[in-house]
Structure 1
Amino acid sequence: MIKVQIRLRVDSVRDAERYYCDELGLFEFYHDYGMETVSLVSRDNPSFFLILSAGAGACSDDCLFGLETKDCDLLFERLRSVRFETGGRLLSSEVFEYPLGKNVLLRDPSGNKFLIFEESI
């Protein structure tokens, strides 16, 4: 099995962990490497990891990664009801639909943007 690791610089490892694991519910804690670096594993794909390291947050305004979901509309409705206390947020006010699928845009507490998408191809 091929593992995928996305490395993110975050202002607060604790806030980022709470955002991805508790508020979004998409990841769970995997390992603490020390030196303010932890890994999270996707709840839906055990070969997909986020590596969170303390440092200056978002260095780009671009989307840094995308996560596929089976039902973008259902996930969007659930996320709209989440009270984001970490500073992260759901940026999309509605599901964006295009010919080959759907997506929503999110931003973590450090400003890292990413998409959650559903493909229809």
Structure 2
Amino acid sequence: MDPAMVESALKRLHPAGVEWVSYTCKISGKTEAILLIGDDMASQLTESLPEVDDAKGMKILAGLYSAELCECDVATLTRLPEEEVIRQLERFTVAGIVTHRKIHGMNYYRLSSEIIRQRLSDVIDASE
């Protein structure tokens, strides 16, 4: 995840809006658009999803909406300390909200909750 691209997207991000960051996977070479959501949007979604108990966690899940990411990429995307990202991802894995797998010794995660995926999809559709 390119920190400069993340910073640029965050500068454009409205607190109640969404932005996309281009991401190229170092392993597959595939380029994808990664979802960023504003603070107000994250808080609003958290209120409607009992399985997510804070806005930081919602931002992590939004980042996993369209791609499988490693812990360090999620930390770069959310600007959260990697230890906090790992703790949240482990909790979400146990709860069945995300799936986890190791690729070349690194931990990768993908959003697996269809309820959360649908809520994020609704937010994206409303913002277009």
**What is the TM-score normalised by the length of structure 1?**
0.33
Q: Which has the higher contact order (CA 8 A, sep 6+)?
A: 1
**Would you tell me which structure has more helix in proportion to its own residues?**
2
**What is the TM-score normalised by the length of structure 2?**
0.32
